[in-house]
Amino acid sequence: MTAQLDEKVEPIFQEVLARNPGETEFHQAVREVLESLGPVLVKNPEFTHHKIIERICEPERQIIFRVPWQDDKNQVQINRGFRVEFNSALGPYKGGLRFHPSVYLGIIKFLGFEQIFKNSLTGLPIGGGKGGSDFDPKGKSDDEIMRFCQSFMTELYRHLGEYTDVPAGDIGVGGREIGYMFGQYKRITNRYEAGILTGKGLDWGGSLVRTEATGYGAVFFVDEMLKARKDSFEGKVCTVSGSGNVAIYTTEKINQLGGKVVACSDSNGYIYDEKGIDLELVQQLKEVERRRIKDYTGYRKHAKYVAKGNIWEVPCQVAMPSATQNEINGKDAALLVKNGCIAVGEGANMPTTPEGVKVFLEAGIAYGPGKAANAGGVATSALEMQQNASRDSWDFEYTEKRLQQIMKNIHQNCYETALEYGAPGNYVVGANIAGFIKVANAMVAMGVI
Ligand code: NDP
């Protein structure tokens, strides 16, 4: 682990460890936030009195359920579903659903915990939650995906509502899955309530820019960090891990701002294309044909595929981890810095281990943690909710401007909070403290609930 915890905070963390055994990712996420909070308690003794940190670390509600479904061979399959409704001080629970075989309660709780502060940072009225299943969508037919999504929603629907809990996508959950889940919700309830899910299709209540939002937002955030150092994306060589939703739109926006992405990946390996990744080809392979990234080299002969390779060995000036948690360890971080990396923007949630974070902070590079840098996705989900509530739809340009302004505000807020707390340029401290204070104040105002 990294920094010492404040003496008031240490016993709270020990209690979290004891109450949530085995949930290592949750412990990691809690510790990372708690490391920043010592000075906040000194300035705001009422937070200690009201036991705000202890309450924030305990989800308001945790739902775990059986998801039975039939595969194409008529065999019954059983998965486990989760929804952790973490904190609703600022608005209805909001956060995505992840379908991946690695999902268990500790993953959902780490994501839900981070989501509280991320959503607070957006400045929009949304609380924090997260859900998902250990279902593996890889290799499943469309029909199997549909039957699974229908079964998942047959339990989840009773916990959702425009003013209660509004899920969205995450790893393994994109437009197709949201469609099947929304259809089942509508069928069970006989109500067309667009506001119960975000990430919907454009013809049935979705918002323009939602698909692009997390990637675009992460690039806007890095752009702000670079501007604060009188620099820009122009001419920068970049690497983007993953080749899913976040990675694709991160790459698109980097290209638009004059950078060049030379590598991307999936869980089997990475591709290196010194001429710059051909994004249209990646989209065709991944979004349309649902193939593997190694197939890229079949169409671009000069590109290199490195099976089981580590994308962070590719020299770059800007790195944007956009795949999954703990994908950059201390060694990877040191290698990135050694190879000339000056900025890291986390499109993924908690992609850097505590040792990696320490390396970036000590090197003094511009490091944008996920809860700030990837908040554009959920922010645009909140814009989708606004459009649903007013039965309106905004055009692309306007929605993208709103997203860009939100990312600027988040950057400014983190930057100024870090300064105020004596840690200039430290966006970890800035994001944790700014995100926390707003939620804490709301919880104090609402009494012991
Ligand atoms: P997708 O499912 O669209 O893509 C995920 C990508 O990451 C795929 O290329 C996948 O490769 C790779 N990946 C997933 N798990 C692993 C793993 N264990 N090891 C190596 N590679 C892996 O998901 P998203 O793009 O939506 O999400 C990516 C990250 O961004 C996640 O951390 C998510 O929590 C975060 N995020 C997403 C938001 C959104 O709006 N979608 C919002 C905020 C954060 P493969 O196909 O081989 O599994």
Q: How is residue 287 written in tokens?
A: 């979004």
Q: How far, in Å, CA of 85 to CA of 100, rounded?
A: 19
Which of 97, 310, 324 maximizes ligand 1 atoms within 8 Å of its Cβ, making it the mutation to test the pocket? 324
Residue 294 among the catalytic residues: no
Domain ranges of the chain: 1-58+425-449, 61-193, 213-364
**From the CA of 322, how far away is ligand 1's center (Å)?**
6
pLDDT at 27: 98
For the stretch 25-55, pLDDT in tens is 999 999 999 999 999 999 999 999 999 999 9
pLDDT tens by residue, 93-106: 999 999 999 999 99
Q: Which CATH number applies to 61-193?
A: 3.40.50.10860
If one residue of 104, 243, 246 were mutated to test the ligand 1 pocket, choosing by the most ligand atoms within 8 A of its CB, it would be 246
How many residues can be counted in the chain? Answer: 449
Question: What is the CATH architecture assignment of 1-58+425-449?
Answer: Orthogonal Bundle (1.10)
Which of 130, 236, 253, 286 does the annotation list as catalytic?
130
pLDDT for the residue 2: 61
Is pLDDT above 80 for 17?
yes
Strand partners for 170? 173
Ligand 1 pocket check: which of 104, 133, 166, 170 to mutate, most ligand atoms within 8 Å of Cβ? 170
Question: Would the CATH topology of 1-58+425-449 be identical to that of 61-193?
Answer: no
Task: Please report the pLDDT score of residue 3 as a whole number.
Answer: 75
User: What is the 277 CA–ligand 1 centroid distance (Å)?
Assistant: 18
- pLDDT tens column, 238-274: 999 999 999 999 999 999 999 999 999 999 999 999 9
Q: What is the CATH class of 213-364? A: alpha beta
From the CA of 264, give the closest atom in ligand 1.
Answer: 9
- Pocket around ligand 1: residues whose beta carbon is below 6 Å from it? 169-172, 214, 242-247, 266-268, 322-324, 347-349, 374, 377
* Strands in 126-218 per DSSP E: 127-133, 165-168
Strand order across the beta sheet in which 269-272 lies: 304-307, 269-272, 260-266, 237-240, 318-320, 343-345, 366-368
pTM of the predicted protein model: 0.97
